[in-house]
Each structure stands twice: as C-alpha cells, then as structure tokens.
Structure 1
C-alpha cells in the first residue's frame, strides 16, 4: 500500500536540502559582503539558493533558504530574525518555480532561458526583500518603516546583482555537466561517420 503512493518529498530532495542548507549557511556566514546600511550584506548564499531552486524546485528551495538563514542567525549570536528567515524561504520557493521552465536536468540552457531566469529572479527578490521582509519587520518587530525598507532595498538589489552574475554562472556551469538524452548516440554516430 505504501509502495503505490508517491512521496511528497524524495530521498534525493532530502539529501539536497541537507547539503544545500550546509553550503548556503557557509556562504552566508563567511562570504557576506558588507553594505553601507546596518545589518545588511550582499549575500553570496543567494546565487547558490537560485541554483538549488532551479534544480530541485520550490519545496527544496524554500527549506534551504529558511533553514540556512535561521542557522546563520543562530550562529551569529543576535537571535533569529524570523521575518528575514521567512523572506529567504519565500525567495527560495519562488526561484524554485523556475525548475519546470529551465529543465536543467534534460534540456540545454539557452539564452532565452537565462533571460527568463534573470527577469524572474528580479521579481522574486522584489517580492521577498522590497515587500515581505520590511513589512514583516514593521508588523512583527515594530521597526521604523524608513529603516527596514532601506535595508530591504539594499538586500534586494545586492541579491539581484549577485544572482545575475554568480547565479547565472552557476546555472551555465551546471547545465554543461548534464548529459542530454541522445547525446551519446549523436557522438557515436559522428565518430562512426568519420571512419566510413
């Protein structure tokens, strides 16, 4: 009976969440670039999150962003800032929605797909950092609007730039490692034709 049901989350996804979260945490913790705005950095974990989301989808993307950010806040010692943790989870979820369009596992990464990915990551960052994080800070933590919107805008712009550059490089590099269906047959046919 259990064998006939499809799991909500696969073993592969669980492994991806574990490894993805660990890498996200390390990048966020040790490779953060300071900005002029207090408590706001350009986070190199976000390009990694964009790759994880694009490969594994929205559930894995959400959990890697949410858990990774919560671990980083815990390790930093100032307490977990749940509104930003949630915003990172939402960003991972939204970036994960690109999985079905990019099809990195089975299709080449075209220029059109890269453009789509970057337009979508700008929209996703705007939702997460220009809206969710600052509005959450105002509602939950009673923070001044001017301060948190400034932090959110800086974080969002930093993430957009980081994903546009590093995230795109990661997607292209990953795509080049994938063996496409039929590619071995094409190579075999090519080499066979060389000997005829």
Structure 2
C-alpha cells in the first residue's frame, strides 16, 4: 500500500472512530437492562467495509471506549469494546469482496455483507462479550448471555439495515465523485 492510501485510510479511521463515539449518544432502550439499539453500528460497518480489518478493529474498540467514557458516566466495558472490535474485523476482512470503492456496492455485495455482518455480530455478542463479562467482571452467566442475545439481535438489525443503506449510498457518492473528477 502506498503512503497516500495509508494516510487516507488512517484519516478515515480517525473520522469514523470519532463519529462512531459521538453517535453513542443516540440509543433506543430495549427490554434487557443496559442493552440498546445504537445506530453507531451502521457507521462501524461502513468504516470496516471501506478501511479493512485493522481500521474496523480500531473504530470498534477505540470508538466504544470513547463513547462509554464520554456518554456513559465514564464507565468503560472492555468486554463490549472488544466485541465491537471483532465485528469491525469480521466485516473488514471482506473489504476486497465488498468493493465499495471499486466497481460499486451492488446486490451481490449487499447479500455478502448481510451474511458477514450477521456472522460477526453472532460471534461477538453471543460468545465473546458474555464470556469476557464473566471473566473480566465476574458477571452472572444468565444475565450476560441474555444481554448478549439482545445485543446480537439489535446489532444485526441495525447493522443490516443502516449499514447496508450507508454502504450503498457511500459507494454511489464515491463513484459519482470519481467519475466527475475524470
């Protein structure tokens, strides 16, 4: 990768991470305690699909930590930050296949994105986050697996809908701008 592309991707990571953290303020409560529908997952999807696994991991982990610190009474949950980093890595691994900045994000890429994001969210929220909650914080299994199941459902839905729409829009805007510039 040349230096110019690396600088662009890192700048995108910083902007995406800060946007992800700020959007933490927007949340819709769910019936399960401390679990919310959060549009920031759509931002994580775009940053990861465009930037790749490392950028996705940075956005998910650092963005979650900053969001928790700034907007959640300075209470930081490493287990959930690591789970969001894992979602970013999972989506980011398919960056080349999504081809958001190449030929465009079309139906085939959208279907692949949906399968990948559901798999990444399932691993992160049904396994990693609950297990880390038990190991790091001594939380009860029934509590954390219920929260994990709810987080999986909410994150898979918001990532699947908002992430897909944002990726399609971003790809179209990028391709038009590229054509306009010549």
Q: TM-score, normalised by structure 1?
A: 0.85
> Who is 1:149 aligned against?
145
Candidates 28, 31, 39, aligned match of 1:33: 28
Alignment correspondent of 2:133: 137
TM-score by length of 2: 0.91
After TM superposition, list the pairs within 5 Å mapping 1:42-61 onto structure 2: 42-61=37-56
User: Size of the alignment, in residue pairs?
Assistant: 178
Whether the 8 Å CA contact 1:59–1:96 is kept in 2: the answer is yes
Residue pair 1:106, 1:178 contacting (<8 A) in 2 also? no
Shift of 1:20: 0.5
Contact 1:62 1:90 in 2 (8 A): yes
Runs of 4+ aligned residues of structure 1 deviating over 4 Å after TM superposition are none
Structure 1 residues without counterparts, runs of 5 or longer: 185-196
Contact 2:106 / 2:168 at 8 angstroms: preserved in 1? no
Q: Give the superposition deviation at 1:98.
A: 1.9
Q: Which runs of 5+ in 2 are unaligned?
A: none
Q: CA deviation at 1:13?
A: 2.2
CA contact (8 A) 2:104 2:175 kept: no
RMSD value, Cα = 2.1
The higher radius of gyration belongs to 1
